[in-house]
Amino acid sequence: MGNWALSHLNKYLYQYRYYFLSGIVFVFLNNFFGSYQGPIIRETIDYLEKSLPLLKQAQGAEKAALQNEFGWNIGILVLKILGLTILSGVFLYFQRKIIIGTSRRIEYDLKNEIYNHYQQLPVSFYKKNNTGDIMNRISEDVNQVRNYLGPAIMYGINLFAIFIVTVPIMLSVNTELTLYTLIPLPFLVISIYVVQNVITKHSEEIQRSMSGLSTLVQETFAGVRVLKSFVREDNMADQFEVQSNDYKDKAIQLSRINALFFPIMVFLIGASIILIVWIGGKNVIGHGGVTNGNIAEFIFYLNKLAWPVTSLGWITVMIKRAEVSQGRINQFLKEQNTLRKGAEKTTPIVGTIEFKDVSFTYPDTGIEAVRHMSFTTLPGQTLAIIGNTGSGKSTVASLLCRLYDLSSGTISIDGTSISDFNLQYLRSQIGFVPQDVFLFSDTIRNNIAFGFDNVTEAQIIEAAEFADLYHSIQHFPDGLDTILGERGITLSGGQKQRLSLARAFIRNPRLFILDDCLSAVDTKTEDTILNNLKLVLGDRSTVIISHRVSSVKLANTILVMDDGEIVESGSHEELIQVQGVYRSIYLKQLKEEPTNSI
C-alpha cells in the first residue's frame, strides 16, 4: 500500500474522514429507501391483479364500496412509493453534496500543496521541466485525482451499498429469480470495462492531439509579429488545418466507440429482463409461488442494479487514471530544493561583495559556466561585468541571488557567506533586473509595485521617473492604470526593460544587479538611467552586466569574462589601453555606432 501512488491521498482522506463517513451513511440511506420501493411495487401489482376482477364482477352499492376501498388502498400505496422516492432523493442530494464537495476541498488542498512545493524548488527544476508539463500536474492531473476522490469513491460505495441492501431483499422473495437477475451483470461489467479501456486509449490520443493544437495556436498568437513580418499566415493556417483534421478524425473515431456503450448496456439489461419474465412467467403459470408483482419487482431491482454495475468499469478506469496522475504528481512532490540551508542570518547588509575562487557547473546540463572567479567590490561602488555571449556573465548574477549553489569556492556579503543568510531575506535586499523581462497581465502600477502591498503613488512615480519611464506612461490613455497584455506585449522592448528597472528600484535594495537590462533602450535613455542610478546609489553596491561598453564604462571596476573566466579587469580608461578582449569589443562597437560616444 505504501508504494501505491494514491496512498499519498490518505492524509486528506483522514483529514476529511467525518465528511466521508457522513457521505457513506447517506449512500446507505439513499439505497435503503430506494430499494424498499420494490416490495411496494409488488404489493401494488398484486393488489391490482386481485382487485380488478372483483371490481368488474361487483354491482350497485357493492361496486361503489369496492371502488372507494380500491381508490383508498391504491392511494396509500402510491403515497408510500412517493414518500420513499422523496426520502431517497433527499439522501441522494446529501450524498452527492458531501462526497463531491469533499473531493473539491481535497482538490483545493492538493493544488495548494503542489503550488507551494513548486515555489520552493530551485531554478534548475524549471530548466529541466517544460512549463506545459508543470502546469498539467496542477490542472489536468489533479482533476483526474479529484474524479477518483469524488465520483469513483461515491459510485464504488454506492455499488457496494446497493448490493448489501437490495440482494438480501431479492433473496428473501425468490432465490431463483435473484440468480437469473444477477447472471448477466458480470458480462455487463466486463463489456463496459473493455469499451472504457478502448475509450481511454483514444481519449489520450485526442488529448495529445488537442495539446498539439493548443500549442500551435498559443505560439501563433504569441509570435504574431514574427508571423506577419515573415508573411507566414497561410503556412500556419495550413498547419492548423492539418492538426485540426487530425483532432477531428480522432474525435469522430472516439464517438463511434462511445456509440457502443449504450447498445451493449441496453442489450444485456434486456437479456436480464427476458430471463426474469421467462423464469417468472413459468413460475406464475406453474403456480411456483411467483406472482406478476414479483416479476415487476425484479425488473425494478434489475434497473436499480444496472447503472451501479455498469459504473464499475468506469470506476476502474477512473482509479487507473488517478493512479497514473497521482504518480506524476508524486514524482514532482519528491523533488527537493537542492539549495543548502545555512545559519538563516538576517543581519543588515552593507554591501561588500567578495567572490573567492568561485566555480560553477550547471547541474542539469553539466556545462561549466564559471571557473575560479575571484573579485571584491566595496559598498557604494559599481562593478561591471562584460563579455561576449556565453562567457558566463549572467551566471554571476544567478549565483549572487543564490538561484544556484556553488560547485566550489565562496561568495560572501560583508564577510558572511550568502549560504548563511536567510534566503528570502537575502533576495529581498537585492534589486535584480534580469535580461529576460517578465511582466504580468496587470496594470503598470501593479507591475511596478509587484510584491508590495502598501506602496504610495509618489513611490511608484519616483520609481518610474528613475527608470525614465514616467514620461512614456503619461501618454497612455489610462496612465499607471493601463492594463498590459500577456507578458507586457503592449509595451516596446525598451519600455519593458525600464518597467523592470522601476520594479527593482521601488524595493529600495542594498544591492542592485542589472543583467543586460538596457540592451533594448537607446544610448540617450541608457545614459539617463545610469546617471539616475549614480544619484540614488549612495553607499549601495551595484553590479552591471552587459555586452555594451556604453553600459559599463562608468563603473569603478570592469571585469572582462571569456569562457567562464576573468581575463581582464580595471577601469574603462585602463582597459582600452590594453590590447585585449575589452579593447576589441570597444573598437567593434565604436565602428558599429560611429555617432555615439562610447
pLDDT digits (tens, 9 = 90+) for 335-384: 888 777 767 888 889 989 999 999 999 887 888 999 999 999 999 899 99
For 66, how many CA atoms within 13 A lie in the half-sphere containing its CB? 16
Q: Taking a C-beta distance cutoff of 8 angstroms, is the pair 493, 517 a contact?
A: no
pLDDT digits (tens, 9 = 90+) for 469-482: 888 888 888 888 88
What are the angstrom distances between the C-alpha of 123 and each of 252, 308, 364, 377? Answer: 42, 48, 10, 26
Fold match between domain 5-333 and domain 436-508? no
Cβ atoms < 10 Å from Cβ of 343: 12
* pLDDT of amino acid 2: 42
* pLDDT of amino acid 287: 60
User: Which residues partner with 560 through β-bridges?
Assistant: 386, 568
**Confidence class of residue 97 from pLDDT cuts 50, 70 and 90?**
very high
User: Using CA atoms, how far apart are residues 340 and 95, in angstroms rounded to an integer?
Assistant: 48
Whether 593 has a pLDDT exceeding 70, the answer reads no
Angle at 242 between CA 237 and CA 245, to 5 degrees: 115
What are the contacts of 415-424 at 24+ separation with CB within 8 A? 415/352, 415/354, 416/345, 416/347, 417/342, 419/340, 419/342, 420/342, 420/343, 420/344, 420/345, 421/342, 421/343, 421/344, 421/345, 421/346, 422/344, 422/345, 422/346, 423/339
**Mean pLDDT on 418-447:** 87
User: Which residues partner with 382 through β-bridges?
Assistant: 542
- Which has the closest alpha carbon to 542: 582, 517, 513? 513
**Confidence class of residue 486 from pLDDT cuts 50, 70 and 90?**
low
Could you tell me the residue ranges of all domains in the chain? 5-333, 348-429+509-520+538-593, 436-508
For 173, how many CA atoms within 13 A lie in the half-sphere containing its CB? 26
**Mean pLDDT on 315-330:** 85
CATH class of 5-333: mainly alpha
Q: Taking a C-beta distance cutoff of 8 angstroms, is the pair 582, 575 a contact?
A: yes
**Confidence class of residue 286 from pLDDT cuts 50, 70 and 90?**
low
566 φ/ψ angles, rounded to the nearest 5 degrees: -80, 115
Q: Taking a C-beta distance cutoff of 8 angstroms, is the pair 543, 397 a contact?
A: yes
Whether 555 has a pLDDT exceeding 80, the answer reads yes
Q: Taking a C-beta distance cutoff of 8 angstroms, is the pair 412, 354 a contact?
A: yes
pLDDT digits (tens, 9 = 90+) for 211-230: 677 777 877 877 777 788 77
**Mean pLDDT on 153-160:** 93
Whole-number average pLDDT of the chain? 84
CATH class of 436-508: alpha beta
Asked if CATH classification 3.40.50.300 holds for the domain at 348-429+509-520+538-593, the reply, yes or no, is yes
Q: What is the number of residues in the chain?
A: 598
User: Using CA atoms, how far apart are residues 510 and 342, in angstroms rounded to an integer?
Assistant: 21
The cell for 457 is 503613488
Helices (H), ranges, 334-410: 393-400
- Which has the closest alpha carbon to 188: 309, 292, 73? 309
**Confidence class of residue 487 from pLDDT cuts 50, 70 and 90?**
low
Q: Taking a C-beta distance cutoff of 8 angstroms, is the pair 151, 322 a contact?
A: no
Residue whose C-alpha cell is 452527492: 96
pLDDT digits (tens, 9 = 90+) for 100-137: 999 999 999 999 999 999 888 888 788 777 776 788 78
User: Using CA atoms, how far apart are residues 559 and 375, in angstroms rounded to an integer?
Assistant: 9
73 φ/ψ angles, rounded to the nearest 5 degrees: -65, -45
* pLDDT of amino acid 210: 75
Buried b / exposed e along 381-412 (16+ C-beta atoms within 10 A): bbbbbbbeeebbbbbbbbbbbbebebeebebb
**Pairing state of beta strands 511-515 and 430-433?**
parallel
* pLDDT of amino acid 309: 81
Q: Taking a C-beta distance cutoff of 8 angstroms, is the pair 523, 550 a contact?
A: yes
Residue whose C-alpha cell is 523592470: 500
* pLDDT of amino acid 108: 95
Which of the residue ranges 253-267, 376-390, 510-524 would you say has the lowest mean pLDDT?
Answer: 253-267
Torsion of CA 107, 113, 116, 117, to 10 degrees: -130
User: Using CA atoms, how far apart are residues 58 and 67, in angstroms rounded to an integer?
Assistant: 10
What are the angstrom distances between the C-alpha of 584 and each of 47, 373, 557, 598? Answer: 107, 22, 18, 13
The cell for 17 is 474522514
User: Which residues partner with 570 through β-bridges?
Assistant: 558
* pLDDT of amino acid 598: 45
